[in-house]
Structure 1
Amino acid sequence: MFRTKFTTWTFLLFIVMAGFASCSQDDNNDPVIVEPSLKVSPALMEFDAEGGTKGMQITSNIGWIVTGAPDWLNLSKTASEGNMNIQVTAKPNELTESRAATLTITANDSDLVDEVQVTQEAAEAPDEQVEASIPPDNAGMREIGSVQLSDEMGIGWNLGNSLEAIGGETAWQNPVVTQKLIDSVKAAGFNAVRIPVAWSKFSDAENFIIQENWMNRVEEVVNYVLDNDMYAIINIHWDGGWMQPTYEEQDYVNARLDAMWQQIAINFRDYGDKLLFAGTNEVMFGNDYGTPTEEYYTVQNSFNQTFVDAVRETGGRNHYRHLVVQGFNTNIDHTVNFAVIPEDVVENRLFMEVHYYDPYNFTINEETTVYQWGEDAPKSEDWGNESYVNSQFQKMKNNFIDKGVGVIMGEYGAMKREGVEGHEAYREYYIEYVTQAALEHGMVPIYWDNGDEDDLGFAIFDRETGAVLYPDLLKTLMSTE
């Protein structure tokens, strides 16, 4: 065995040596000289203004070096030997002029040189700078006060849990808002749509710069409403709860409000008076639903003033636009007791907003055992019935409407309770009565619809198809006009 193995290895070694001799020597046993080679492709690399990465293939049998790369180009390798694919990365071109460079590839210890031309397109010229403030322009803005406008607005509907959903428009289980849905809202008889919005989709979080594509999406939905000849109200909704009414947060919140509302106002500045802005939503400290401290309501009043000032400063039609401010936590008693009407540069263009979900156990308490409502209902709450509704709404009339400040009841309603015998009739009666009382007291009632069709939901419409889910409830709601 040992001899056989030795003989085999000897034979293989002989073949290898013979092959080596044939490669390194010519027929006269003279050494063969290998000529250096260098080839680079492509000869031209073109980048758009956004930049990116492309491959550059170097084919060589010796060492090489790449020179001539400007600071806007990054190369994965600038020197090596043999064959290699180099990644060439162009940074975004922020200049409005194109640029070019020549990469020179030189083979070591030889006169071999190759070149690659690299070009990059110019950035688009920025749009004409939008002026932050322009002179007042009342074109398309009627000489009509907020109280008069209330009469025209009639009954409204909330596009709830859509554009204010944290994480994106569909994050709270509602589909993308469509023109078809808003057409159905119009066909049902509503004349106003409140569009809650969370605006903190920032391209620059440090300066609170709102992403352009999000601004455009909100505008698209606003146009769905206005194209149906309805009133549209956009606000800054909960938005993660950053609007805390404390002295510690006051400067930060006011600066953020100012920055955000100036952008929103400028974007919508050319719209007519069927578009209203509402500055905040249910401002409160944490989950404290009690009577606000002086600190809380003082700081919250400053938010209202900042909002009004920010919008008015943009000029144009915003100088005359109807604006909506809120009472503390949109509670009627807190609003009457603590709200201060902001100073304004025009008269009678402000609304005060409150919400109404009394009595809590009947309307929105998910674990309630109170399923009836009304003074004649044997198992209703002993408060919050018809007389209470009228007394609360009268407070808003006395303190605001009679003084030239319109009142928007931006949210109200009662959740559906499946399987509870007789509840739906009480729910319909509650909504009918509250809606009618709001109109009789000069307020604008805007029903809260969160798109939830299931138990404990508020939906009237199927958000996918626009179909009416509860025709009797809708009929009851609209019969009050």
Structure 2
Amino acid sequence: MRITKALLLSCLLSLGACSSGGGATATPATAPATNSAATPSVTTGSALYPGYNTSPAAPDSAGMGGTAVQIAGRMKLGWNIGNTLEAIGGETAWGNPTVTKELIQLVKASGFDAIRIPVSWNQHADQKTAKIDPAWIQRVRQVVQYCVDNNMYVIVNIHWDGGWLENNVVPEKQVDNNARQKALWEQIATQLRDFDERLIFAGTNEPNAKTAEQMKVLLSYHQTFVDAVRSTGGKNAHRVLVVQGPETDIEKTDTLWTTMPTDSVANKLMAEVHFYTPYGFALQAKDESWGKQFYYWGKDYHSSTDVERNATWGEEAAVDQLFRLMKLRFVDKGIPVILGEFGAMRRDNLTGEARALHLASRAYYLKYVTRQAAANGLVPFYWDSGALDNFGSGIFNRRENTVFDRPALDAMVQGAGKP
């Protein structure tokens, strides 16, 4: 996700862009095959950019023994450094301060054991050669080191990044985007190659594939990602990698995703989806002709006086049903699932009893989603936009390194079954 004030408006126009997760009942299909010959062939357009795998290393399995399933089992609760290293214009461009080791220490001490770092790379790259600014790679490396120093698992991705890949999962862009995907990941993987298994790479963010044809294109992007990382060798020959469902939408993923990328090593792939269901409660920032905002969610948290603001869909049964789809399709087949983003905006405009009920309802939502994710084998990562005035999702005051939203934090920690 890319949550800014402008995006809140654009999200209203396109639910898919915010990965709402859907709510209708769907019939589970078989799990995507792994190491399948059905994986689409990849046309990378390699000649478009220089080759950046200039110093491949011999495979190094030291510190890389965990399978995807084992590593997923060690990540109970994750947190996103949102609107920061992926911000267009630089790390502080969207209102957040630079990430410090003290912030990561606070996140760890608060009960999180994994961090997802959304990163933009293309804006920091030469557009003719795709060469990433070395200073930017070193900055990302520094933040990864903060996480590893606190014995946390950390996921580094290519996020929205101006939409060059995310908004162009189409045959017309396939060759160009595979070439850029290869060039960027060869550089990222080479420069971060020496981290142990606590570092995980994720190939994309919320790729906008809506049809079977577009899904084939997306699978080629995933294959390019896997091949590029593995080609650099060293610990990357054994690193866990994460690939994303279409729009990271649970129902589209269940319907369209039929095969995992071919991999040179077994049991090192994870799938990723996001969850912002129901949209009216999680993300909708103003009333629209097609529907009003929901302030209250959950069977015991509906208002008896402000009834038009009660959720009318997407409540507990929908969470159970959607997460079970991912359990049946992936988890039960040995493919862990990262719930890479979830959350619900805090409606700070409310006052009095309405505010109290909303906050209690939101805490219940966060606890329920976290608990049911764990029950179905999904690893939940809370989306935290940071700056406290642009989304209402901030758990921490990053400028003061303090907990800002204790009820929401406690709800997730309890939902994850942590002390």
Query: What is the 5 A alignment of 1:48-447?
Result: 131-142=54-65, 144-202=66-124, 204-243=126-165, 244-284=168-208, 292-339=210-257, 340-367=259-286, 368-378=292-302, 379=307, 380-420=310-350, 421=354, 422-447=357-382
Distance 1:369 1:245 in 2: 31
Contact 1:145–1:404 at 8 Å: present in 2 too?
no
SS of residue paired to 1:325: strand
Contact 1:195–1:232 at 8 Å: present in 2 too?
yes
Distance 1:455 1:139 in 2: 43
Distance 1:447 1:369 in 2: 21
Distance 1:407 1:439 in 2: 10
Deviations 1:266-307 (CA, angstroms, capped at 9, x unpaired): 11111100000000010116xxxxxx1222211111111111
Distance 1:203 1:146 in 2: 31
Contact 1:272–1:317 at 8 Å: present in 2 too?
yes
The amino acid of 2:60's aligned partner reads: D
TM-score (norm 1): 0.70
Q: Note the residue ranges of structure 1 that are not aligned, 5 or more in a row.
A: 1-128, 286-291
Following TM superposition, by how much is the alpha carbon of 1:147 offset from its aligned partner in structure 2, in angstroms?
A: 1.8
The amino acid of 1:454's aligned partner reads: D
Q: Note the residue ranges of structure 2 that are not aligned, 5 or more in a row.
A: 1-51, 287-291
SS of residue paired to 2:175: helix
The amino acid of 1:257's aligned partner reads: Q
Count of residue correspondences: 346
More helix by share: 2
TM-score (norm 2): 0.80
Contact 1:146–1:322 at 8 Å: present in 2 too?
yes
Distance 2:414 2:251 in 1: 29
The amino acid of 1:304's aligned partner reads: H
SS of residue paired to 2:397: coil
Aligned to 1:47: none
The amino acid of 1:406's aligned partner reads: P
Distance 2:320 2:365 in 1: 13
Following TM superposition, by how much is the alpha carbon of 1:365 offset from its aligned partner in structure 2, in angstroms?
A: 0.4
The amino acid of 1:330's aligned partner reads: T
Distance 1:419 1:299 in 2: 42
Contact 1:435–1:445 at 8 Å: present in 2 too?
yes
Distance 1:406 1:179 in 2: 29
Contact 1:416–1:455 at 8 Å: present in 2 too?
no
Larger radius of gyration: 1
Distance 2:377 2:153 in 1: 17
SS of residue paired to 1:474: helix
More strand by share: 1
Following TM superposition, by how much is the alpha carbon of 1:374 offset from its aligned partner in structure 2, in angstroms?
A: 1.4
SS of residue paired to 1:161: coil
SS of residue paired to 1:453: coil
The amino acid of 2:93's aligned partner reads: A
Contact 1:417–1:455 at 8 Å: present in 2 too?
no
- Is the counterpart of residue 452 in structure 1 residue 387 in structure 2? yes
SS of residue paired to 2:122: coil
Following TM superposition, by how much is the alpha carbon of 1:200 offset from its aligned partner in structure 2, in angstroms?
A: 1.6
